[in-house]
Amino acid sequence: MKAFKGGKSGNGKDKNDPNLLRVIKEYEQKGKKVRVNESDKKYSAMLLDLISPYHEAVPDAEELEWLLELAVIAWNIATIKKELGNVGNVMLKETKEELKDDKEAIKLIEKLIKDKTKKFGKEDFLIRDLKLNEDENGVFVIATAMPFSEFLLQDMDEEEANDEDDWDDEMNFLPGYINRNGFSLVPKQPFIEWMQRLEGNSLFPVEITETPVYLLAEKESNEAVEAWLKKNFDTVFRRQLESWHTDEKEWPKNRTYKMFSEWFDVKHHSMVFDLEDFPVDKDIE
């Protein structure tokens, strides 16, 4: 029944693997043949182990697919959380929002994330794709995976080659991923003081409840975004001023990058996701 076929080799077929033996026995009792890909058994064994506490009987193809799909989501979030810190937390929050009507799935994903971290915390590969094909002999599962380190190296190679199409393909395993870098600007005290001078009142309350988010072509690092800002700061500076005060005549003159840095903190967003299933509208100036 169970075969995994991935982009990286595993440890070879281990006939003594307890999780694999259990599944083989259960399916053979039902008259089903069990097929295991020798080179890539590693992925199937770990994913089977991950979902094994959450089904008692032998799952049918539909239940198995549902469990494995949630396991893949949990595995990738746990891996990214380990490697990129808060990015994983953001992904979990967005996933929970997307699945807000399926409380059972959300609860199971949270458990699977903890299980992955506990049982397979050292494993850094990401599951890119998962497919199930059913025939008269059982269910054949095909998965592809990539180590996180290789994923990052490939990212840098593709950035240098400016091969955005291939990069998009590599990110398909993260639903809604957008090939952009984002950043937002948080006003600092000099900006607030400028607003108060315009009002002629040093006690004028400047309430900052939200800040615009700007998207750029994907960059290899936050430093690359900063380099872009040094060259294009005034474009962003003008947009920020316009969002607060529309009279351009009263904007500060002789704006410099130093002034820009003194007026705003830059908050980076290296992974941007669109959770909707319809195109983004964009006004072209």
Residue 117 tokens read as 């971290």
Residue 96 · residue 102 · CB < 8 Å: no
pLDDT tens for 104-141 read 999 999 999 999 999 988 888 888 777 666 666 666 66
Phi/psi of residue 53, nearest 5 degrees: -70, -10
Structural domain count, the chain:
2
Question: Across the strands, what pairs with 143?
Answer: 130
81 in a structural domain: yes
Residue 204 tokens read as 């004028």
Residue 155 · residue 116 · CB < 8 Å: no
Same domain, 27 and 137: yes
Same domain, 115 and 81: yes
2 in a structural domain: no
Question: Which pLDDT value is given to residue 25?
Answer: 60
DSSP letter string over 223-250?
HHHHHHHHHHHHHHHHHHHHHH---GGG
172 DSSP 8-state letter: T
280 in a structural domain: no
197 in a structural domain: yes
User: pLDDT tens track of the chain, all 285 residues?
Assistant: 333 333 333 333 444 445 555 555 665 565 555 444 444 446 766 887 888 888 877 667 778 888 888 998 999 899 888 888 777 888 899 999 888 889 999 999 999 999 999 998 888 888 877 766 666 666 666 666 777 766 666 555 555 555 455 544 545 456 677 888 889 888 888 888 888 888 776 555 666 667 788 899 888 888 888 999 999 999 999 998 888 888 889 999 899 999 999 999 998 888 888 777 777 787 776
CA–CA dist 5, 141 (Å, integer)? 8
Phi/psi of residue 134, nearest 5 degrees: -110, 135
Same domain, 182 and 257: yes
Same domain, 120 and 241: no
Collapse the DSSP code of 147 into the 3-class scheme (helix H, G, I; strand E, B; otherwise coil) and give the result: strand
Q: Which alpha helices (H) appear in the chain, and where do they start and end?
A: 18-29, 41-51, 61-84, 86-98, 103-120, 148-161, 164-170, 189-199, 222-244, 257-263
13 in a structural domain: no
Domain hosting residue 58, numbered range: 18-153
Same domain, 145 and 66: yes
Question: Which pLDDT value is given to residue 126?
Answer: 83
Nearest to 23 by CA among 38, 34, 39, 11: 34
Same domain, 132 and 238: no
Same domain, 142 and 38: yes
Question: Which pLDDT value is given to residue 24?
Answer: 54
4 in a structural domain: no
101 in a structural domain: yes
CA 118 to chain CA centroid, Å, is: 21
Residue 205 tokens read as 């309350």
CA–CA dist 131, 153 (Å, integer)? 26
Question: Across the strands, what pairs with 127?
Answer: 145
